Amino acid sequence: MDSEGLSQHKHLVFTAPSGAGKTTIVRHLLKHFDELDFSVSATTRAKRAHETHGKDYYFMSKEEFETKLQNNKFVEYEEVYKGQYYGTLMSEVERIEKKGKHIIFDIDVKGAVSIKEAFGDRVLTVFIKPPSFEILKQRLIDRNTESEDALKTRISRMKEELGFESKFDRVLVNDLLEVTLEEAEHIVSTFLNLEH
């Protein structure tokens, strides 16, 4: 890609309720498009066994997160669950732009709205929608990563997040994964003016 095309870095935001498949889609797109780099979010939630600091998330204490908040180090953040923050560090956006890449975000719905507000026309927001609420609920139960209370909280949050659909530029229904991935590739190619 020519340097002129990269002087205006673009941001692709993929968002969805938990279990709708956004992370699977984002990982696929990162393998498919060299022009993209992944924005690693910061979080105060506990690291899961399969996760790596700096690759999956920047894991930090609540105090560290709140200090960065007070120093305006975040583009967007949210207290997703009580005492559990997620956010996008300004330094992460700068890191990727210095590499000359476009940024792909995998974040929650409110964070996606904030990124759109911060960067305007440079952003394309894509809402990944499950075929139905029941399927989404079952996917979350099948994951078996939550306690009973955490699962109830997530399910209640999913209902709320599904109501945000109209706030996004594109809606992608994740029913058949193969079809969804093809559609996601097309959305990215069109937004970045690429021929893939």
Contact yes or no for 105/11 (Cβ under 8 A): yes
Taking the C-alpha atoms of residue 36 and residue 75, their distance in angstroms, rounded to an integer, is 19
**∠ at Cα 159 (157, 165), nearest 5°?**
105
Domain ranges of the chain: 3-191
Residue 76 β-bridge partners: 88
Q: Where in 97-169 does DSSP place strands (E)? A: 102-107, 123-129
Contact yes or no for 22/128 (Cβ under 8 A): yes
The predicted pLDDT at position 20 comes to 85
Contact yes or no for 126/12 (Cβ under 8 A): yes
pTM for the predicted model, two decimal places: 0.85
Task: Inform me whether the pLDDT recorded for 160 exceeds 90.
Answer: no
Taking the C-alpha atoms of residue 87 and residue 108, their distance in angstroms, rounded to an integer, is 9
Residues 6+ apart with CB under 8 A from 156: none
pLDDT tens, residue by residue, 62-105:
999 999 999 999 999 998 878 899 999 999 999 999 999 999 99
pLDDT tens, residue by residue, 101-131:
999 999 988 899 999 999 999 999 999 998 8
Buried b (16+ CB within 10 A) or exposed e, 139-151: bbeeeeeeeeeeb
Q: Which 3 state secondary structure label does DSSP give 99?
A: coil
Q: Where in the chain does DSSP place strands (E)? A: 11-15, 36-38, 41-43, 57-59, 74-81, 84-89, 102-107, 123-129, 170-173
Residues 6+ apart with CB under 8 A from 10: 102, 103, 122, 123, 124, 191, 192
Superfamily of domain 3-191: P-loop containing nucleotide triphosphate hydrolases (3.40.50.300)
Give CA 188 to chain center in angstroms.
15
The predicted pLDDT at position 107 comes to 92
